[in-house]
């Protein structure tokens, strides 16, 4: 029996044979508010994003640096809710959108109700979840539930992840594995660490699941070392920092949107270079 390819897997299958990287920008839902989050999602799609990671604001985010923490704080100040996010994403169903991936704490899923969260996410149009604080034992239960709903469960793998934990992540991840480029929190860095390249090469020997790299990816030149060892690049802080300027009153939303779209286009073009 042939297993159906998910929307996320289809992206990597299209880019990989061409020697290209899939480009996945990140923004937080509700920053500056949900209607303008919808505008940002459409702009990122138009700029060439292959997938888009949408963060569910959380008061105690795991591993996020100050730029994304501040974005979550602004979103929470707007009274952003889980139901509101699903409603906003659902309103984009008629748009030509790439696969949307929810970055969401397991605490949010659990509090909302796992079955309800999965059902609403599927109906809204999400293609998968990244759950940064998901324990191994919970992953073995959540993965089949999500698979039954047509969603991928994506897990994070850090440079410090133990061999046993790596085996569990490889076993229960689908869509792609989120490989953290450096130890520490999210944020821009000057270069890609050599240790990451070695880790990616090792992982390639253990799994056929695509590998996407995040944390510290913020410039087109960061992508070149990833070619041949990774399948995708995730960019967060370099985009979200534009929304900080908007919050500070230094830019209008129209200017901010144009700048984010131009930056995203430059990253997509670099990612798609053959």
For residues 95 and 236, give the distance between their C-alpha atoms in angstroms, rounded to a whole number. 23
Report the catalytic residues.
Answer: 53, 64
Query: What's the rounded Cα separation, in Å, for the pair 23 and 56?
Result: 20
- Cα-trace Rg, the chain: 17
Cα angle for residues 85, 258, 241 (degrees, 5° grid): 65
Closest CA to 103 of 91, 85, 116, 87: 85
To the nearest 10 degrees (0 to 180), the angle between helices 237-247 and 66-77 is 50
Alpha helices in the chain (DSSP H): 7-15, 34-46, 66-77, 82-90, 106-112, 114-124, 136-148, 163-172, 194-204, 237-247, 253-271
Tokens coding 48: 């060439």
């Amino acid at each position: 029996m042939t297993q159906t390819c998910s929307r996320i897997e289809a992206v990597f299958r299209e880019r990989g044979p061409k020697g290209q990287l899939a480009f996945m920008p990140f923004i937080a839902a509700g920053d500056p508010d949900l209607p303008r989050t919808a505008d940002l999602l459409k702009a990122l799609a138009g700029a060439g994003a292959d997938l888009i990671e949408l963060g569910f604001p959380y008061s105690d985010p795991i591993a996020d640096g100050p730029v994304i923490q501040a974005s979550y704080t602004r979103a929470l100040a707007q009274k952003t809710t889980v139901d509101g996010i699903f409603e906003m994403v659902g309103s984009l169903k008629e748009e030509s959108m790439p696969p949307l991936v929810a970055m969401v704490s397991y605490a949010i899923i659990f509090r909302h109700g796992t079955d309800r969260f999965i059902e609403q996410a599927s109906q809204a149009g999400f293609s998968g979840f990244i759950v940064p604080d998901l324990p191994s034992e919970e992953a073995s239960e959540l993965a089949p539930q999500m698979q039954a709903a047509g969603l991928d469960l994506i897990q994070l793998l850090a440079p410090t992840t133990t061999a046993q934990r790596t085996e569990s992540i490889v076993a229960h991840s689908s869509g792609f594995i989120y490989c953290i480029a450096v130890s520490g929190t999210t944020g821009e860095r000057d270069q890609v660490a050599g240790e990451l390249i070695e880790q990616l090469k090792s992982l390639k020997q253990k799994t056929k699941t695509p590998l996407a790299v995040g944390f510290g990816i913020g410039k087109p030149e960061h992508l070149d070392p990833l070619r041949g060892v990774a399948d995708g690049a995730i960019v967060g802080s370099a985009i979200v920092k534009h929304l900080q300027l908007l919050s500070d009153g230094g830019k209008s939303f129209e200017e901010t949107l144009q700048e984010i779209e131009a930056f995203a286009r430059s990253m997509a073009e670099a990612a798609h270079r053959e």
